Structure 1
Amino acid sequence: MAAETPVSEPMCLIENSQEKGLVIHQEALRVLSEITQPVVVVAIAGLYRTGKSYLMNRLARERRGFSLGSSVQSQTKGIWMWCLLHPCQPGHTLVLLDTEGLGDVEKGDTQNDMWIFVLAVLLSSTLIYNSKGTIDQQAMEQLHYVLKLTELVKLKAAPQSSEDELKDSDKFILFFPTFVWAVRDFTLQLRRNGQPISEDQYLENALKLKAGTSPEIQRYNQLRECIRQFFPGRKCFVFCPPANWREMDRLQELQDDEIDAEFQKQVEKFCCHIWETSPVKTVPGGHIITGILLGKLAETYVEAIRSGAVPCVESAVLALAEAQNTAAVTEAVALYQALMAQRVRMPTETLEELLELHSQCEKEMLELFMARAFEDDISTFQLQLLHQVEENKGKFLKDNEQASREKCEAALRHLSQGMERQIRAGVYRAPGGYQLFRKDHKELLKRYRELPGKGVKADAVLLEFLQGRKKLVENILTTDLSLTQEEKKMKSAQEQNEIDELKKKVQRKEEAAKKQKLQNLSRSWDEYTKCLRKKLHLSSEIQLEENQKMIRLKTEEEEALRREGFDEKAKHMQMVKEKLEEEGKSKMNKILKGAELIISVLATAFSVIRFLRI
């Protein structure tokens, strides 16, 4: 499958040009549409000419790939994508996103810089920020794009209705990526107050707040607060210079023995961390993003930016839900058709056999649909699924009946060949012909009934066969001079009784079949309801887990602020946490009530379908 043979080289995902602005490349969307595996999306951002592409090539386990510039000009324009088999997670695709360097003086477009950074944040599951030198105030100032995230990203489509409601930014941690700061050409010793410290401690020390209320201190703290609140999952790596500065222009061409050994160790540690810990890309609701959905996500965000709107996560998730649920219906129906075609051997001996196979295939199909579908508007798509499966089931039932009919008709033609020759020769029109005809007729019926595998139309086809011979029997009776008129009348009545009994049997079978079909439809509904209820309850559990995760992270930040002596900020964080708890309880009640309402609406729709089937 295409999902197992990702792109072998980088390609442009989102082009950034002065003439057109941000434009998504259709070829990149096509490639992503063929990746049905979950994706781990690692994006890198940072100032231009800081070696971002080199790190990304190493994450791809290649020396070349993303373009490395050797001049003061930025090489990467827009966002470039490289899809690879994940080195540590089988069945997953690693998507590397190399973004245009920020702060390019030749470009002179800070607005596009911000959108590139926003897209890197929204599309990735791990964001690497690449800088040079040290994490000082200047390095922090270069990451000022974080301050704009509250203005350039919306969580909810509807405007907030109350000042008491939590701000969108309070919930950014729900869908923002893990954050890795890569410090290049780091030449200091990792020590503080004479004691060795880790790279992570170095970053956390740089993110500590200052006491005071002056505008300078407020600006100093504001960026650090945003990083701490938006990216609670943080990691830091420092890298010594890789080679002599004269060799930096041809870094990708250098052999291992020409690159600093310590730098190689640092890069290896960095790559292993990214490979082993970067999470699968998800969106709120715990939905796992595949290559197909990543393309749709990118398309939705770029369209919003091009239209002058602010990218909205809720709107993007709804767009994903529609695309995913539509695809889930198509995929589920295709699975049902394939399973039925594989398992059903027509004609089945009984209707029960076919309906049992249908139920088995439908159950597997439902499991696939529920695993793929988003819960957003799931009832609409489940009804579509029910309609399509019922149509397919009806076709299988019809085809099964036709296969049975054809087999039975062929069997009767074959078994009656001898009698047909006798009829054409006039054997049965002589005295005693009726008795001979009845003897041959009983033998034909005996052989027909003993024939296996006739299917569900065996009696109906036999009834048609007997009714078709009714005039023939009357003619044979009339011409048989060995029988009296009274005997002929009695024999004629016997013939009619035989047909009437078979007709009653066929009618009973048709009524039983109708009842079985309705029972099967009811069983299908029970299965649909059970799966839907399970899906919606699982969704509520996931949202509860997300809420608890946010509360846990807010608690950790509250404790950190108290340790640092910022009691007022800690109180605010406690207030945010309490609102999250209240919101979580309210949302759970709404979800559970909504689930029962959806099932009630579906029950009404099912009743209509059931009525139409009667």
Structure 2
Amino acid sequence: MDEPVCLIDTTSDGRLCVQESALQILQKIEQPVVVVAVVGLYRTGKSYLMNRLAGKQTGFALGSTIESKTKGIWMWCVPHPTKKETTLVLLDTEGLGDVDKGDSKHDTKIFSLAVLLSSTIVLNSRGTIDNRAIEEMQYVTELTEYIKIKSPDEVVDDSEFVKFFPSFIWAVRDFTLQRNINGKDATDDEYLEFALKLKLGNSVQVMNYNLPRECIRKYFPSRKCFTFPFPTNPDNVSYLETLDPAEISKPFLEVTDYFSRFIFGHSQVKNLKDGHKVTGRVLGNLAKTYVDTISSGAVPCLENAVIALSTIENEAALQEGLEVYQSGMEKLKKSFPLELNEITSEHQCFNLMATQTFMKRSFRDTDGKYLTSLEESIRHQFDRYLSNNEKASEDKCESLLSVLSEPMTERINKGFYARAGGYDLFCRDLEDIVNQYNLLAYKEVKIAEVLEKFLQHTATLTTAILQADDKLTENERRICGKRFLFSTHIVCLKNNILT
């Protein structure tokens, strides 16, 4: 992708929707994805960090006014800088707390989607991690109201959310304070943990103070903090993306580089329950499942989403497997007719390829329902290809017999055999035809059936020629007739045994 695209937008009536064009991009990504989402109040410089992660100066809109530029959730997929055969998916979210929206529920939905879709979530804020900054993160306290692990009626311990939530990074921009705790210099991470420290007591004030901190500590046990100094002269901050690196402060660039290296090195591939790695295609299906659920007024349920995803993936895996089998057999069909052992061998080869294709994409087909369906579909299709091969063999055998018997047919039409000794001549010609046919068609699966039908067709002619042969007595005619029927039966039996 040369530039970001909108993944999740808002309709005119305020409902969230997934953009089909973005889904089409994700559908083509078969690699595992590391998904990094940035959230935070609007106009705090979230987009700049995401552009740096993409290795670009520009891309996600920064804007230079108090108006929030990013609406919905925008996506940028780039090759991961350090993980081979992995795609880095960057999600830049709509700024929270935008006064123009006046809808805190919308903000919570955006925040919840960022948590659901990402493997690492970056909270971007300005100034310090003080009580006000943490209170502005009321979205964290509402997460369990907007995300369920199982059905809404089933009670689940909050600690279960940890298994599904992303790692957490707090990026504090324009930080000017000294990181000093109890008279000692502190690291960024120690500063964050100090800010999240709980107060003792049971008063309403203490409980309100502790609630957002408890949620952050509980839901995001994997936490990291980065404090960024002012990047440049305050007059130039609004034009950060167009500034020459020489105009940006060295300490800011150093922290930014460290932040990027940490993201690249520590952000993990997005996983589902049971450790199933998420590809771009799966991420797109997840996004649509979650957004459709939210738009319907329901609460996204992680377990239900996985079930819905398994249906989507297994149906697609089934179709892909069938297409692999059909593609191979359709090419083989151009060579019909083939020997039975040859077509069976090719069928087994394509069947194995189809199964491997299915297994590569299938997800949670624990009862083997979809694999069984694939096997049954392939079995039915194989029967159809066998029928097609038999029809091709039948046509070839009939055409061969037609060519071989053409001289004899001309003789019959000219009355060549309607004379004394004609029966012997006819039998020799017929025997030559059968011998040549068996020699040329010995590999055909329908050799016996077509020959039997041909001989049955010539039985009437044989009788007529036999009766017209004045050289033979009535008793000789009877013996010859029986001999012909016996010979025909033996020939057909022999061919049936051979096939």
- Same-fold call, TM > 0.5? yes
Q: Deviations over 1:154-188 (max 9, x none)?
A: 1112512xxxx642x22112221122222222334
**Which residues of 2 match residues 123-134 of structure 1 at below 5 A?**
123-134=117-128
Q: Is 1:435–2:424 an aligned residue pair? A: yes
Q: Please name the residue that 2:72 is paired with.
A: 78
Q: Please name the residue that 1:40 is paired with.
A: 34
Q: How far apart, CA to CA, are the structure 2 residues paired with 1:371 and 1:134?
A: 47
Q: Is the 8 A contact 1:408 1:458 kept in 2?
A: yes
Q: Is the 8 A contact 1:407 1:454 kept in 2?
A: no
Q: Is 1:451–2:440 an aligned residue pair? A: yes
2:284 to 295, 300, 314: 295
Task: Report the alpha carbon displacement of residue 459 of structure 1 after superposing the two structures with TM.
Answer: 1.4
Q: Please name the residue that 1:494 is paired with.
A: 483
Q: Is 1:262–2:262 an aligned residue pair? A: no
Q: Please name the residue that 1:409 is paired with.
A: 398
Task: Report the alpha carbon displacement of residue 198 of structure 1 after superposing the two structures with TM.
Answer: 4.3
Q: Is 1:315–2:309 an aligned residue pair? A: no
SS at 1:428's partner residue? Answer: coil
Q: Please name the residue that 2:242 is paired with.
A: 253
Q: Deviations over 1:334-368 (max 9, x none)?
A: 11111223456643653333233222322221222
Q: How far apart, CA to CA, are the structure 2 residues paired with 1:355 and 1:397?
A: 9
Question: What letter corresponds to residue 39 of structure 2 in structure 1?
Answer: A
Task: Report the alpha carbon displacement of residue 380 of structure 1 after superposing the two structures with TM.
Answer: 4.3
Q: How far apart, CA to CA, are the structure 1 residues paired with 2:6 and 2:439?
A: 69
Q: How far apart, CA to CA, are the structure 2 residues paired with 1:151 and 1:158?
A: 9
Q: Please name the residue that 1:93 is paired with.
A: 87
Could you say if the C-alpha distance between residues 500 and 211 of structure 1 is closer, same or farther in structure 2, counting changes exceeding 3 Å?
same
Q: Deviations over 1:562-589 (max 9, x none)?
A: xxxxxxxxxxxxxxxxxxxxxxxxxxxx
Q: Which moved more, 1:11-20 or 1:400-409?
A: 11-20
SS at 1:285's partner residue? Answer: helix
Q: Please name the residue that 1:572 is paired with.
A: none
SS at 2:99's partner residue? Answer: coil
Q: Which moved more, 1:39-48 or 1:91-100?
A: 91-100
SS at 2:142's partner residue? Answer: helix
**Which residues of 2 match residues 568-607 of structure 1 at below 5 A?**
none
Question: What letter corresponds to residue 263 of structure 1 in structure 2?
Answer: F
Q: Which moved more, 1:489-498 or 1:21-30?
A: 21-30
Q: How far apart, CA to CA, are the structure 2 residues paired with 1:493 and 1:90?
A: 80
Q: Is 1:324–2:313 an aligned residue pair? A: yes
2:104 to 99, 110, 118: 110
Q: How far apart, CA to CA, are the structure 1 residues paired with 2:475 and 2:190?
A: 114
Task: Report the alpha carbon displacement of residue 64 of structure 1 after superposing the two structures with TM.
Answer: 1.5
Q: Which moved more, 1:344-353 or 1:45-54?
A: 344-353
Q: How far apart, CA to CA, are the structure 1 residues paired with 2:132 and 2:14?
A: 32
Could you say if the C-alpha distance between residues 437 and 152 of structure 1 is closer, same or farther in structure 2, counting changes exceeding 3 Å?
same
Two-structure CA RMSD over aligned residues (Å): 2.7
Q: Which moved more, 1:467-476 or 1:340-349?
A: 340-349
SS at 1:392's partner residue? Answer: helix
Number of residue-to-residue matches in the alignment? 499
Task: Report the alpha carbon displacement of residue 423 of structure 1 after superposing the two structures with TM.
Answer: 2.6
Q: Is 1:381–2:378 an aligned residue pair? A: no
**Which residues of 2 match residues 384-395 of structure 1 at below 5 A?**
384-395=373-384
Q: Is the 8 A contact 1:347 1:456 kept in 2?
A: no
Q: Is 1:467–2:424 an aligned residue pair? A: no
Q: Is 1:400–2:389 an aligned residue pair? A: yes
Q: Which moved more, 1:122-131 or 1:224-233?
A: 224-233
2:170 to 181, 187, 205: 181
Task: Report the alpha carbon displacement of residue 448 of structure 1 after superposing the two structures with TM.
Answer: 1.9
What percent of counterpart residues are identical? 44
Q: Is 1:26–2:20 an aligned residue pair? A: yes
Question: What letter corresponds to residue 107 of structure 1 in structure 2?
Answer: K
Q: How far apart, CA to CA, are the structure 1 residues paired with 2:210 and 2:483?
A: 104
**Which residues of 2 match residues 428-577 of structure 1 at below 5 A?**
428-451=417-440, 454-504=443-493
Could you say if the C-alpha distance between residues 331 and 428 of structure 1 is closer, same or farther in structure 2, counting changes exceeding 3 Å?
same
Q: Is 1:144–2:138 an aligned residue pair? A: yes
Could you say if the C-alpha distance between residues 324 and 414 of structure 1 is closer, same or farther in structure 2, counting changes exceeding 3 Å?
same
Task: Report the alpha carbon displacement of residue 503 of structure 1 after superposing the two structures with TM.
Answer: 4.5
Question: What letter corresponds to residue 35 of structure 2 in structure 1?
Answer: V
**Which residues of 2 match residues 166-177 of structure 1 at below 5 A?**
166-167=156-157, 169-177=158-166
Q: How far apart, CA to CA, are the structure 2 residues paired with 1:327 and 1:378?
A: 17
Task: Report the alpha carbon displacement of residue 79 of structure 1 after superposing the two structures with TM.
Answer: 1.3
Task: Report the alpha carbon displacement of residue 84 of structure 1 after superposing the two structures with TM.
Answer: 3.0
1:226 to 212, 215, 220: 215
SS at 1:288's partner residue? Answer: coil
Q: Deviations over 1:281-302 (max 9, x none)?
A: 2322333333333333222322
Q: Which moved more, 1:325-334 or 1:356-365?
A: 356-365
Q: Is 1:273–2:262 an aligned residue pair? A: yes
Q: How far apart, CA to CA, are the structure 2 residues paired with 1:505 and 1:311?
A: 70
Q: How far apart, CA to CA, are the structure 1 residues paired with 2:266 and 2:198?
A: 28
Question: What letter corresponds to residue 118 of structure 1 in structure 2?
Answer: S
Q: Which moved more, 1:92-101 or 1:327-336?
A: 92-101
Q: How far apart, CA to CA, are the structure 2 residues paired with 1:457 and 1:477?
A: 29
Q: Is the 8 A contact 1:318 1:376 kept in 2?
A: no
Could you say if the C-alpha distance between residues 54 and 503 of structure 1 is closer, same or farther in structure 2, counting changes exceeding 3 Å?
same
Task: Report the alpha carbon displacement of residue 383 of structure 1 after superposing the two structures with TM.
Answer: 4.5
Q: Which moved more, 1:123-132 or 1:265-274?
A: 265-274
Q: Deviations over 1:81-131 (max 9, x none)?
A: 223333344444332211111122333321211111111111112211111
Q: Deviations over 1:214-255 (max 9, x none)?
A: 444433433233222212232333322221111111111112
> TM (normalized to structure 1)?
0.75
Could you say if the C-alpha distance between residues 15 and 483 of structure 1 is closer, same or farther in structure 2, counting changes exceeding 3 Å?
same
Could you say if the C-alpha distance between residues 470 and 145 of structure 1 is closer, same or farther in structure 2, counting changes exceeding 3 Å?
same
Q: Which moved more, 1:78-87 or 1:203-212?
A: 203-212
Q: How far apart, CA to CA, are the structure 1 residues paired with 2:389 and 2:180?
A: 79
Q: Is the 8 A contact 2:150 2:156 kept in 1?
A: no
Question: What letter corresponds to residue 58 of structure 1 in structure 2?
Answer: R
Q: Which moved more, 1:185-194 or 1:414-423?
A: 185-194
Q: Deviations over 1:445-487 (max 9, x none)?
A: 2222222674211111111111111112222222222333333
Q: Is the 8 A contact 1:41 1:281 kept in 2?
A: yes
Q: How far apart, CA to CA, are the structure 1 residues paired with 2:498 and 2:268?
A: 58
Q: How far apart, CA to CA, are the structure 2 residues paired with 1:93 and 1:453?
A: 56
Structure showing the higher helix proportion among its residues: 1
Could you say if the C-alpha distance between residues 378 and 259 of structure 1 is closer, same or farther in structure 2, counting changes exceeding 3 Å?
farther
